[in-house]
Each structure stands twice: as C-alpha cells, then as structure tokens.
Amino acid sequence: MKPAPFIPLTFTEYSPEDMLLRSRQFYQLIKQRRTVRDFSDRPVAREIIDNAILSAGSAPSGANKQPWHFVVVSNETVKKEIRLAAEAEEKAFYQHRAPEEWLHALAPLGTDEHKPFLETAPYLIAVFLKKFTYHEAQKQKNYYTAESVGIACGMLITALHYSGLATLTHTPSPMKFLNTILQRPSDERPYLLLVTGYPSEHAEVPNIQKYSLSEVCDYI
C-alpha cells in the first residue's frame, strides 16, 4: 500500500490571552446546551444541517476509515413511521425490559414511551456505524468504530448547538427498525437518532446540575 501524501498543516495560533478568552467563551456557550423534548415545527434551512454533518465528518477516526453514515429525515410520512416503531420499542422497554434500578434513575426526568418530538421536529438525523467499508468490491474492516462514531456524534451535537438549534439524543433499543425504514444495509448498526430543530416556545428542561471540575478531573 502506498503511503498517504502529506501536506503542510493549516493551524491558527492565538496568543495565550486570546486562547484563555476563547476557552471561556466556548464554555459559556456549550454549557447552555440542554437535551430538549419539546420542539417547534418551524422549518430550518437545510444548509445548516449540511454544515453540521460536514463538521461531524471531520472527526478523527481509526485509520481514517470514517465509519459513519448519516441519514437526514424530514419527510413527514417517514418521521411518523419512525415514531411508531420507536414507541413500540420504548413501550416494551418501559413496561417489560427495563430493570427497576434504571426506571428509578429515569423517573426524575419524566420520560416515558411517548415520543411526539419524532414527528414535530423538522429533522431527524439517524447515525449508522459501519463495521466494514466496501471499496471496488473489496470488503474492508473499519477500526475503533464505536469510538470514532461517538466522537463524530459529539461534534455533530456541538455544531448544531453552535448554529442555534436544540437537540435530543434518542436511542431506543433495539434500533434495527431504522435499517428497514431508511433502507440501510444490514451490516450497518444504528448508533443514534438525533432530533434537532428549534425548541418550542414553552419548552422546559429538568433543573439538573453537571459535575464540577474537581468531581470529573484529576491533574497529575
């Protein structure tokens, strides 16, 4: 295999003062991100979604295999089909599959099997994890797929928040119905269903706190 061509790095260096300011500004912005369950049906320009997905696609990945595929759903009929399938799985989860400990942890958030946001929000972004890539009829294994797709999803959520949109990470289990509805190959694994759009005018979120720096970080 030929070595990859290398090009000069494009990198912007800031003064220490500007770096500190930028880090503070970003923290102030990102700490306002909250999971939203009450969405408006206001339209969102497709280019905003395009740019967010391109941002996610710039994520690092094992051997640069980029083991992800995004399916953006705005069609009302397809959104309803996804909602019905997701609610069926969620009903089974809440009524039969979930252990009591898990239900107890979810109770303060007020979640249940009803997912109207899957139809209300203008966009659903289904993220698929690709264990393999096919190139010129050759099946090639991808590496560190869960880590790579997880990083890409984090960047996608951040890009949408930075653009001024709300998001909800939805992970009904199992999610193989997404392969059927969205006509994706069976060897792709549904990783995340990201709901995005404007929050509704009267949206509320739980009054919860994030851990402090000392609780999540050690310096050695």
Per-residue model confidence (pLDDT) at position 219: 98
Whole-angstrom distance, CA of residue 114 vs CA of residue 92: 12
Whole-angstrom distance, CA of residue 151 vs CA of residue 172: 20
Whole-angstrom distance, CA of residue 184 vs CA of residue 194: 17
Cα three-residue angle 44-210-100, rounded to 5 degrees: 95
Q: Using an 8 Å Cβ cutoff, are 86 and 115 in contact?
A: yes
Element containing residue 168 per DSSP (H, E)? strand 166-170
Whole-angstrom distance, CA of residue 29 vs CA of residue 107: 28
pTM of the predicted protein model: 0.94
Per-residue model confidence (pLDDT) at position 135: 82
Per-residue model confidence (pLDDT) at position 204: 95
Whole-angstrom distance, CA of residue 212 vs CA of residue 63: 34
Per-residue model confidence (pLDDT) at position 136: 80
Question: Helix, strand or coil for residue 164?
Answer: coil
Q: From 199, 129, 203, 190, select the one nearest 160 (Cα to Cα).
A: 199
> What is the DSSP code (8-state) at residue 108?
G
Whole-angstrom distance, CA of residue 89 vs CA of residue 98: 11
The segments of the chain whose pLDDT lies below 50 read: none
